[in-house]
A and B are shown apart, each in its own frame.
Chain A
């Protein structure tokens, strides 16, 4: 309908990523328009994190990745270990990215923190708080798009909102485009405009309600993969 009037923020064509001689991603093409939420769904080892990092330019690839010119990207990695060996306050962590104190305060408000968190040593906060700090870090500098690798489920923003409701609010209030890597099917149904089911190559892609069927999901995860995941949950 209005599709042509909305700007394309990212277009990927025939993407292929080979790392250590192993083909991690192949034959992937998609387009993302401003304000859309794209979820990448798939089992462990399917190449989801690699896809995000390739989009960020960390890995060599074949095919085409085209970002809108001057695009600003915020990135929340899957794992950022606690900073145990250097004393660092939350404020100093933010200052590694920007010196604008006002902006830091504003982002804190959005993410549901008071300014008292700034003086805290980043070592002494909970892992939920740490993830929120990382999200706040990613939101500094007013990114056009947020790349989010597997949010820890069960984190509440300001006690009322789940992380997904929060992302949805950001999207509506700020017109933020989001690429979200997740395991969680319900998230895909509720919040995504577009889903890519990835297991090395795309198994299905499109609007969640149209492409996610019991068949595609079992094709994506399969019996063996489920078994594998249980094994790793200890």
Chain B
């Protein structure tokens, strides 16, 4: 289990909340049909990158980002150039990345890769994480509406003169960055939960896009806040605690929905 010194708690909490919030905001885009497909294999692709980083004693987010970036280009290439079904590509990439991870890592390292590693986050790192989050948030704000339009109808988006590939690539880049950051907090396997759970909760609660964005952002932040506080109290693994917190809000949102519909 991770044990952290008290002085590290604040940077972990603050950076964690921001990662949770921006991941939730990004997740609100991922819930749509065509975009969920990419998230899951991507987070698994992060695993071999994390493994390599652990072996070389480097930052796991850096390793994750490198592999995610290459993996994305690969998926993008395969999707646009070959007729191979995406599911097939995903299945292959997933099992291969897991195999590579398990082959080379020690047990302790595997735990870090799968569940996250926040022990090393100090003030300096937290500042980097917070800045990257803010940049990603700004980029997402710029492209959000365009991505929604592309998702509604590529024909309408093209007729508006949008260059679809540019936006899709930007979108994938923001995903890669957020997944790479999230890996520190929730590990390589649970990232999808960090992004999708807040958005899924938000969707049951609201009826328009603006509230959907706000709620996804806030619920992402709340899940991280609750998870990290629970971690402080229980000293259990922080990643699963954040995801369970996300699940907690999801269940509450479902209850609210039921009451509201009556």
Given contacts A80-B155, A96-B145, contact A87 B33 (CB under 8 A): no
Nearest chain A CB to B172's CB is how many angstroms away?
A: 19
Q: Of residues B32, B160, B208, B210, which shows the largest number of chain A Cβ atoms within 10 Å of its Cβ?
A: B208
Nearest chain B CB to A44's CB is how many angstroms away?
A: 18
Q: How far is the CA of A96 from the CA of B28 in the complex (A)?
A: 17
Answer whether residue A225 sits at the interface, using C-beta atoms and an 8 A cutoff.
Answer: no
Answer whether residue A58 sits at the interface, using C-beta atoms and an 8 A cutoff.
Answer: yes
Closest chain A residue, CB of each to CB of B211 = A87
Whether B155 pairs with A75 at a CB distance below 8 angstroms is yes
Whether B209 pairs with A80 at a CB distance below 8 angstroms is no
Whether A58 pairs with B158 at a CB distance below 8 angstroms is yes
Whether B153 pairs with A87 at a CB distance below 8 angstroms is no
Nearest chain A CB to B239's CB is how many angstroms away?
A: 27
Given contacts A89-B208, A96-B145, contact A53 B155 (CB under 8 A): yes
Q: Is the interface of B mostly helix, strand, loop or mixed?
A: helix
Contacts of B152 in A (CB 8 A): 80, 83, 86, 88, 93, 96
Nearest chain B CB to A65's CB is how many angstroms away?
A: 15
Whether B32 pairs with A86 at a CB distance below 8 angstroms is yes
Given contacts A56-B159, A89-B207, A96-B148, contact A77 B31 (CB under 8 A): no
Answer whether residue A92 sits at the interface, using C-beta atoms and an 8 A cutoff.
Answer: yes
* Partner-B contacts on A (CB < 8 A): 53, 56-58, 73, 75, 77, 80-81, 83, 85-89, 91-93, 95-97, 121, 137
Nearest chain A CB to B227's CB is how many angstroms away?
A: 26
Whether A92 pairs with B159 at a CB distance below 8 angstroms is no
Answer whether residue B206 sits at the interface, using C-beta atoms and an 8 A cutoff.
Answer: yes
* 20 sample A-B contacts, Cβ–Cβ < 8 Å, listed by A number: A53-B155, A58-B155, A75-B155, A75-B159, A77-B159, A80-B153, A80-B156, A81-B153, A83-B152, A85-B31, A85-B32, A85-B151, A86-B32, A86-B152, A87-B206, A87-B209, A87-B211, A89-B209, A91-B208, A137-B156
Whether A87 pairs with B208 at a CB distance below 8 angstroms is yes
Answer whether residue B44 sits at the interface, using C-beta atoms and an 8 A cutoff.
Answer: no
Answer whether residue B203 sits at the interface, using C-beta atoms and an 8 A cutoff.
Answer: yes
Q: How far is the CA of A75 from the CA of B153 in the complex (A)?
A: 12
Q: How far is the CA of A151 from the CA of B112 in the complex (A)?
A: 57
| Interface residue range, chain B | 20 to 34
Given contacts A77-B153, A80-B153, A96-B145, contact A86 B159 (CB under 8 A): no
Nearest chain A CB to B152's CB is how many angstroms away?
A: 5
Answer whether residue B185 sits at the interface, using C-beta atoms and an 8 A cutoff.
Answer: no
Within 8 A of A (CB), among B127-159: 145, 148-149, 151-153, 155-156, 158-159
Answer whether residue B212 sits at the interface, using C-beta atoms and an 8 A cutoff.
Answer: yes
Q: Which 4 A-B pairs have the closest CB atoms?
A: A75-B159, A89-B208, A77-B155, A85-B32
Contacts of A87 in B (CB 8 A): 203, 206-209, 211-212
Nearest chain A CB to B39's CB is how many angstroms away?
A: 14
Q: How far is the CA of A73 from the CA of B161 in the complex (A)?
A: 11
Contacts of B160 in A (CB 8 A): 97
Contacts of B31 in A (CB 8 A): 85-86
Within 8 A of A (CB), among B196-227: 203, 206-212
Contacts of A81 in B (CB 8 A): 153
What 8 new A-B contacts, CB under 8 Å, besides A87-B211, A96-B148, A137-B156?
A: A58-B155, A77-B155, A81-B153, A85-B33, A86-B203, A92-B210, A96-B149, A97-B160
Q: How far is the CA of A85 from the CA of B196 in the complex (A)?
A: 12
Within 8 A of A (CB), among B58-96: none
Q: How far is the CA of A75 from the CA of B203 in the complex (A)?
A: 30
Q: How far is the CA of A58 from the CA of B152 in the complex (A)?
A: 17
Contacts of B149 in A (CB 8 A): 96
Nearest chain A CB to B74's CB is how many angstroms away?
A: 24
Q: How far is the CA of A57 from the CA of B211 in the complex (A)?
A: 35
Whether B159 pairs with A88 at a CB distance below 8 angstroms is no
Closest chain B residue, CB of each to CB of A122 = B152
Q: How far is the CA of A91 from the CA of B31 in the complex (A)?
A: 21
Q: How far is the CA of A91 from the CA of B210 in the complex (A)?
A: 11
Q: How far is the CA of A97 from the CA of B156 in the complex (A)?
A: 10
Nearest chain B CB to A16's CB is how many angstroms away?
A: 21
Contacts of A77 in B (CB 8 A): 153, 155-156, 159
Closest chain A residue, CB of each to CB of B212 = A87
Given contacts A85-B33, A87-B212, contact A73 B159 (CB under 8 A): yes
Given contacts A86-B31, A88-B148, contact A75 B208 (CB under 8 A): no
Q: How far is the CA of A91 from the CA of B152 in the complex (A)?
A: 15
